[in-house]
Amino acid sequence: MRAQFHLKFPEHLVREPMVYRVGKEFGVQTNIRRAKVDELTAWFLIDLEG
C-alpha cells in the first residue's frame, strides 16, 4: 500500500530525525517528494509504502 502525506513539525522537532522515526516506528519505506526546513518549522511531502 502506498499513500502520500504532508507532515509539519514545530520548532522543537526541527533538528530531530522525524522522517526516519516515522519509517522505523511504523515499518514503512519513506520517499521525500518535497521539503522545506528552516529554524522554526519543517514540512515534508512524503510517500509512505508498506
pLDDT of residue 37: 95
In the chain, domain spans = 2-49
Q: Are 42 and 8 in contact (CB under 8 A)?
A: yes
pLDDT tens for 1-50 read 999 999 999 999 999 999 999 999 999 999 999 999 999 999 999 999 99
Q: Closest by alpha carbon to 44, among 1, 10, 5, 16? A: 5
pLDDT of residue 45: 98
